[in-house]
Amino acid sequence: MVDVWLPYGNAEVCLRVPTENFLRMIMPNEGKGVENPQEEVERSLKEPIGTKRLSEIVEPGDKISIVISGDEDPSFNLLVLKSILKELNEAGARNEDVDVIKGYNPLRMDGQKSSIESWTDEALKGVKILDHERKPENCLYVGETSFGTKVYLNRGFVESKIKIIAGLLEPHPYTGYSGGRDGVLPGVSSVETIQHNLSMVTHTKARPGLLEGNLVHEDMVEAARLVGVDFTLNVVRNSKQEIIKAFAGDLEGAFNRGVAFADELYKVPIDGRADAIFVSPGGFPFDMNLYESCKGINNVIEAVKKDGILVLVAECSLGYGDSDFYECMAKFRDLKRIENSLKKRFSSGGYVAYSLMRALEKVDVILVSTLPDYHAFEVFKLKTARTVNEALRYVFDAAKKNAKILAISHGNVTMPVLKQKE
């Protein structure tokens, strides 16, 4: 027997698999976080990729806009902003000339608010911290992409002399990776611009870790080129949310360098697909509710055979999470209908529901959680098991005793990739 420990809430659960059935445990190829995160971010600013340092670009009196994700941990955003402001101040820029814009995230859970409310740190004194308003009257037209997306962007951002984007670079369900260009679209775009871009999320190549041929990503890049971004900062973290490395500089150059690094961390080669996968999102907070837990399904679905079994090991201590996710799963009974709905009006809950329904067309999904069976089965169409070993017995009953099994400990940040197509 092989004892396989999987994160579950703030603890772990033990899956006991016969040795002959167990293929391997898949984990991200990540290292430890750097000892001094501030120093790593500042290093990247001093060694920009494909462009001059910010301190060489900015002149005193320049109007500056910095786009960040308002959804991130305030301590992370504070670290990033203090590093950028230090570089700007060295060039003679005043904090009073800096606007920090909290960019929009379409995957923000229903009812979730931006994490930045008010800061009293001395380094930010004089800086204006603003929420991006997506209404058309607050945006300016800058052009149209080859995909037909009319690009309307935050007025203050467009009118700034220096435009900076900063955020995390990590696997993303439909843009391939977050970071770089997403500070423009969707970050500071209008409702109309965002919706047109997101009408392509059901495209076959709108997948985690994939940029080439990904229409959503390519449209975002074109939108960012239209406005012209002067500098970007992309930060890569591990599953413990510790900073590993930062990439700063040219919008596309720094992003692409960061993606190459992230590919080595998050993508794990596998020899072939498994009959069944046991996947944990990574414990709390990744599995705090079903909405968050399902995000990793996109990452791992290609590693299981068609008509195989995916066992989602997620505590879901806070229930199902997003109300729109619940309503879409309850309302839509086939994939085409929810796909058409997303093209007309994107919603984060609708997209996660679409991803789950797409997975259910390929595999059986068994949920090991504290979620009531009624919600899991009747609304979300999931089979349930109280324990991982009960789920294993179901796997052997359905896929026979010779079923080959993969385990994935941090599904929300791990992407198994076939070495060659089967």
- How many whole angstroms separate alpha carbon 125 and alpha carbon 82? 11
Which stretches does DSSP call E strand in 271-351?
274-279, 304-313
- How many whole angstroms separate alpha carbon 19 and alpha carbon 346? 45
Q: Where in the chain is the domain with CATH 3.90.226.30?
A: 2-28+268-418
Taken as a whole, the chain contains a residue count of 422
269 Cβ contact list (under 8 Å, min separation 6): 416, 417, 418, 419
CA-closest candidate to residue 350, choices 174, 221, 182, 176:
174
Q: According to the model, what pLDDT value does residue 164 have?
A: 98
Burial 83-102 (b: 16+ CB within 10 A, else e): bbbbbbeebebeeebbbbbb
Q: According to the model, what pLDDT value does residue 109 have?
A: 56
pTM: 0.91
- How many whole angstroms separate alpha carbon 6 and alpha carbon 357? 24
Secondary structure string (H, E, C) spanning 206-269:
CCCCCCCCCHHHHHHHHHHHHHCCCEEEEEEECCCCCEEEEEEECHHHHHHHHHHHHHHHHEEE
Q: According to the model, what pLDDT value does residue 188 have?
A: 97
191: its two tokens = 């409702």
Q: Where in the chain is the domain with CATH 3.40.50.11440?
A: 37-237
120: its two tokens = 């009293």
- How many whole angstroms separate alpha carbon 4 and alpha carbon 22? 10
CA-closest candidate to residue 183, choices 196, 195, 169:
169
List per-block mean pLDDT (blocks of 10 residues) for the chain, which spans 422 residues.
96 96 91 93 97 95 92 84 95 94 82 52 87 92 98 97 96 95 96 96 94 98 97 93 95 97 94 96 95 91 94 96 93 90 91 95 96 90 95 90 94 89 50
Instruction: For residue 49, give the DSSP letter.
Output: B
- Class of 2-28+268-418 in CATH: alpha beta
Check residue 143 and give left, alpha or beta (phi > 0: left; psi -120 to 50: alpha): left
CA-closest candidate to residue 272, choices 420, 92, 59, 57:
420
Backbone angles phi, psi at 166, to 5 degrees: -140, 140
Strand partners for 311: 278, 366
Q: According to the model, what pLDDT value does residue 422 have?
A: 46
Q: According to the model, what pLDDT value does residue 69 have?
A: 85
381 Cβ contact list (under 8 Å, min separation 6): 329, 356, 357, 360, 365
Instruction: Look up the CATH number of domain 37-237.
Output: 3.40.50.11440
Q: According to the model, what pLDDT value does residue 123 have?
A: 81
Q: According to the model, what pLDDT value does residue 73 have?
A: 76
* Helix pair 215-227, 191-198: axis angle to 10 deg: 150
CA angle 280, 282, 284 (to 5 degrees): 115
